[in-house]
């Protein structure tokens, strides 16, 4: 599978035969044996140990008896006259009934004709009898019953047999001479049990689950150094968290996490309430490569250091839309990070991150009040919102503690490694490439959201905002632009729209452009907040979009949110408010592991000059606040 960056999906089985020239003959033979089909495989004949213990013991006793007889007979013939006295002499030495001379001769003949193969002395009662069905003529009715048995509803064998028997009974009524035989339920059940398991799973569960149940699971080639292979994925945590100041339930946060396969260390994460996107992916990657010295500024004491930092070599992702973004593709090319895309619906191809999510839910979240349940039967009468007690910021701190002092410092479940020890061992052998401060700033730049916009006399326009500066004006004066060259590459910081970066081809560098924002609208404004405010602005004003009207819409939006927050703070009952609405407010407030932990808004300071706007005028278009909130998760 070819990606936009030219990287290939290395997880597909059909790619295992690539680059034969760089493999040894032994490696080639091993791979061929792994992927050779059963119909193409030559089986090794069975040995004595493959028989039942009783049959195995019986064959050995017969071999010992024949050995004693052959020793005494020498060159004499194996006649009844010669064998009878020897049987009387030796039979008590063996755990068997006294055989007849004819039986002894039959054993000896079989042993000799097999060229001394002891398996020829094993009783073959299990091979006796005809393998053909005794009753014929009912095949069509049998397979009709099987088709009903293999339906997705999975009826019982007894019901399928009833259908089989009734169908034949009705058919026999129309036959002039003779009749179609009906097998017993026991025989019918034996036939059903011989149906290939894959066929049953395919019909009842579908191809995906059938392939998953019966596919060949090969192992990954293990990495030889830290950060050679890093897995990343998202999951909603099974826990409801509270607002830091209002103490209302915000809902379940999304966790984006990276884990190093060589050491098993968790190397970075991002926690927030917005659905997984390129923004959460970029924040998690930036957090992973940066030094973790900041943990000493948290209000908790750590027993260990978070050692993980450095440049990632290969990033293993699934086929989520956020991983197929052009921004991620280009950023990883720029940072020299190779992306490996796993096949669709095959999470076992990145087992370490999937297992880590399970460990977090089972070991870390299991004892925290406010835990949710994936199984409705496990939930019973447990009210998640009523039992939630942990604030968002507290959880972020304790999650840091769990990563640093528990997960990375503990032995894995198989007792094979301690992540921190393996990380130190890997660093001693081949330390990863660390990034200096200017490199980290540059890395944050290239991980920004990628867009293409036209350069005009007004500068660069993005989402109804204009970005310009004197330096950009000087650039336009000096370098002529064509229709093609005026389309510029820009990078956006999704957490701060007060500026963007525009790439100037002639100067081979990015120019930082401030927003033309005389009223301070874009101060600490995130991309998600701006998109939501634009929607509110369309309700507020249908005329030409301008910063002043955006400022009025933002003030009205903040006032309405503040009113709801006051109502939440005054209420003693958490059940009055919908968790979905609070979770949307958490996303709008940009709550994240690198940000504040409350939906309570800061005081909005917007300069409106001499213009005065009545509160009634600002609030009137937003009376249907739910119409705005319901769209918060759409982007």
Model confidence over 405-444: pLDDT tens digits? 999 998 877 777 899 999 999 999 998 888 887 888 888 8
> What pLDDT, on the 0 to 100 scale, is given for residue 15?
47
CB-based contact 69:63 (threshold 8 Å) = no
Q: Is the pLDDT of residue 3 over 60?
A: no
Q: How far is CA 195 from the centre of its chain?
A: 33
Q: Is the pLDDT of residue 537 over 70?
A: no
CB-based contact 256:276 (threshold 8 Å) = yes
Q: Is the pLDDT of residue 565 over 60?
A: yes
CB-based contact 449:462 (threshold 8 Å) = no
CA distances from 141 to 13, 155, 180, 428, 449 (A): 40, 17, 10, 71, 63
CA distances from 24 to 30, 31, 45 (A): 10, 11, 29
> What pLDDT, on the 0 to 100 scale, is given for residue 216?
66
CB-based contact 623:563 (threshold 8 Å) = no
> What pLDDT, on the 0 to 100 scale, is given for residue 302?
92
What is the percentage of the chain residues whose pLDDT exceeds 70?
81
**Residue 553 banded pLDDT, cuts 50, 70, 90:** confident
CA Rg, the chain, in Å?
A: 37
> What pLDDT, on the 0 to 100 scale, is given for residue 417?
84
> What pLDDT, on the 0 to 100 scale, is given for residue 227?
93
CB-based contact 315:337 (threshold 8 Å) = yes
End-to-end Cα spacing for the chain: 28
Q: What is the pTM of this model?
A: 0.62
Q: Is 102 exposed, middle or buried (0-12, 13-18, 19+ CB in 10 A)?
A: exposed
Q: CA neighbours within 13 Å on the CB side: how many for 324?
A: 12
DSSP state of 349: G
CA distances from 485 to 216, 467, 472, 631 (A): 52, 18, 15, 36
> What pLDDT, on the 0 to 100 scale, is given for residue 377?
35
Q: Average pLDDT over the chain, rounded to whole?
A: 80
Two structure tokens written together for 10: 């290395």
Q: How far is CA 316 from the centre of its chain?
A: 10
Residue of higher predicted confidence among 619 and 126: 126
> What pLDDT, on the 0 to 100 scale, is given for residue 435?
80
CA distances from 504 to 47, 484, 489, 516 (A): 75, 13, 8, 20
- d(Cα 340, Cα 338) in Å, to the nearest integer? 7
Specify which residues 467 forms β-bridges with: 460, 515
Q: Is the pLDDT of residue 404 over 70?
A: yes
**Residue 380 banded pLDDT, cuts 50, 70, 90:** very low
Highest mean pLDDT among 316-320, 463-467, 526-530, 595-599: 463-467
- The 8 Å CB, 24+ separation contacts for 438-446 are 440/289, 440/290, 443/286, 443/289, 443/335, 444/286, 444/493, 445/491, 445/501, 445/510, 446/330, 446/331, 446/334, 446/335, 446/491
Two structure tokens written together for 589: 């407030």
- d(Cα 49, Cα 162) in Å, to the nearest integer? 43
Q: What average pLDDT does range 203-211 have in this prediction?
A: 80
Q: Is the pLDDT of residue 125 over 50?
A: yes
**Residue 459 banded pLDDT, cuts 50, 70, 90:** very high
CB-based contact 621:534 (threshold 8 Å) = no
Angle at 242 between CA 238 and CA 248, to 5 degrees: 125
Q: Is 548 exposed, middle or buried (0-12, 13-18, 19+ CB in 10 A)?
A: middle
> What pLDDT, on the 0 to 100 scale, is given for residue 472?
93
Q: Strands (DSSP E) along 218-345, which ranges? A: 230-236, 241-242, 249-251, 254-260, 266-272, 314-317, 338-341
Instruction: State the CB neighbour count (10 A cutoff) for residue 353.
Output: 22
Q: What average pLDDT does range 560-570 have in this prediction?
A: 74
> What pLDDT, on the 0 to 100 scale, is given for residue 50?
87
- For every residue of 235-246, which 3-state class applies, written as one string? EECCECEECCCC
Angle at 239 between CA 625 and CA 328, to 5 degrees: 75
> What pLDDT, on the 0 to 100 scale, is given for residue 578?
58
Q: In order of start, what are the domains of the chain with their CATH numbers?
A: 48-127 (no CATH), 139-214 (1.10.10), 230-437 (3.30.420.10), 453-508 (no CATH), 527-629 (no CATH)
Identify the sign of the CA torsion 237, 239, 244, 246.
positive
CA distances from 576 to 4, 53, 246, 533, 625 (A): 48, 70, 14, 26, 17
Q: H or E stretch including 472?
A: helix 470-478
> What pLDDT, on the 0 to 100 scale, is given for residue 604?
54
């Amino acid at each position: 599978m070819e990606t936009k960056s030219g990287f290939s999906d290395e997880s597909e089985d059909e790619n295992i035969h690539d680059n034969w020239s760089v493999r040894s003959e032994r490696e080639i033979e091993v791979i061929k044996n792994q992927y050779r089909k059963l119909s193409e495989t030559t089986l090794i004949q069975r040995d004595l140990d493959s028989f039942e213990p009783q049959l195995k013991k019986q064959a050995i006793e017969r071999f010992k008896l024949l050995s004693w007889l052959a020793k005494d007979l020498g060159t004499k013939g194996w006649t009844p006259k010669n064998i009878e006295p020897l049987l009387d002499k030796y039979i008590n030495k063996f755990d068997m009934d006294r055989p007849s001379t004819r039986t002894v001769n039959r054993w000896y003949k079989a042993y000799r004709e097999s060229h001394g193969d002891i398996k020829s002395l094993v009783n073959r009662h299990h091979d006796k009898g005809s393998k053909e069905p005794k009753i014929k003529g009912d095949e069509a009715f049998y397979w009709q019953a099987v088709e009903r048995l293999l339906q997705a509803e999975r009826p019982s064998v007894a019901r399928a047999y009833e259908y089989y028997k009734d169908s034949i009974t009705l058919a026999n009524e129309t036959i002039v001479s003779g009749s179609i035989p009906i097998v017993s339920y026991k025989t019918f059940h034996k036939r059903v049990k011989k149906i290939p398991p894959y066929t049953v799973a395919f019909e009842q569960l579908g191809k995906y689950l059938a392939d998953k149940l019966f596919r060949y699971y090969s192992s990954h080639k293990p990495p030889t150094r830290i950060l050679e292979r890093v897995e990343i994925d998202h999951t909603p945590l099974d826990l409801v968290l509270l607002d830091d100041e209002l103490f209302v339930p915000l809902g379940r946060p999304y966790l984006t996490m990276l884990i190093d396969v060589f050491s098993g260390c968790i190397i970075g994460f991002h926690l927030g309430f917005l659905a997984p996107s390129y923004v959460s992916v970029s924040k998690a990657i930036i957090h992973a490569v940066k030094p973790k010295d900041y943990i000493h500024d948290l209000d908790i004491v750590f027993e260990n250091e978070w050692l993980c930092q450095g440049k990632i070599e290969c990033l293993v992702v699934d086929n989520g839309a956020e991983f197929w973004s052009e921004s991620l593709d280009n950023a990883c090319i720029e940072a020299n990070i190779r992306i490996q895309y796993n096949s669709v619906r095959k999470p076992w191809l990145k087992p370490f991150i999937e297992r880590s999510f399970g460990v977090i839910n089972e070991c870390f979240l299991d004892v925290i009040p406010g835990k949710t349940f994936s199984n409705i039967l496990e939930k019973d009468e447990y009210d998640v919102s009523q039992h939630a007690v942990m604030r968002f910021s507290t959880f972020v701190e304790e999650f840091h503690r769990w990563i640093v002092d528990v997960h990375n410092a503990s032995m894995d479940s198989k007792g094979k490694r301690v992540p921190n020890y393996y990380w130190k061992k890997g660093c001693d052998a081949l330390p990863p490439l660390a990034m200096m401060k200017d490199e980290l700033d540059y890395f944050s730049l290239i991980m920004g959201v990628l867009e293409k916009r036209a350069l005009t006399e007004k500068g660069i326009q993005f989402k109804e905002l204009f970005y310009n500066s004197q330096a950009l004006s000087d650039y336009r004066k000096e370098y002529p632009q064509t229709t093609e060259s005026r389309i510029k590459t820009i990078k956006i910081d999704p957490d701060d729209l007060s500026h963007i970066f525009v790439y100037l081809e002639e100067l081979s560098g990015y120019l930082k452009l401030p927003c033309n924002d005389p009223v301070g609208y874009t101060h600490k404004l995130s991309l998600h907040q701006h998109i939501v405010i634009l929607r509110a602005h369309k309700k507020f004003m249908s005329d030409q979009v301008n910063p002043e009207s955006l400022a009025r819409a933002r003030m009205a939006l903040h006032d309405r949110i503040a009113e709801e927050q006051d109502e939440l703070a005054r209420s003693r009952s958490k059940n009055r408010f919908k968790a979905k609405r609070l979770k949307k407010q958490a996303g709008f407030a940009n709550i994240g592991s690198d940000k504040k932990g409350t939906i309570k808004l800061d005081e909005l300071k917007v300069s409106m000059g001499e213009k005065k706007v009545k509160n009634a005028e600002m609030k009137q278009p937003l009376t249907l606040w739910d119409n705005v909130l319901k769209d918060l998760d759409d982007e």
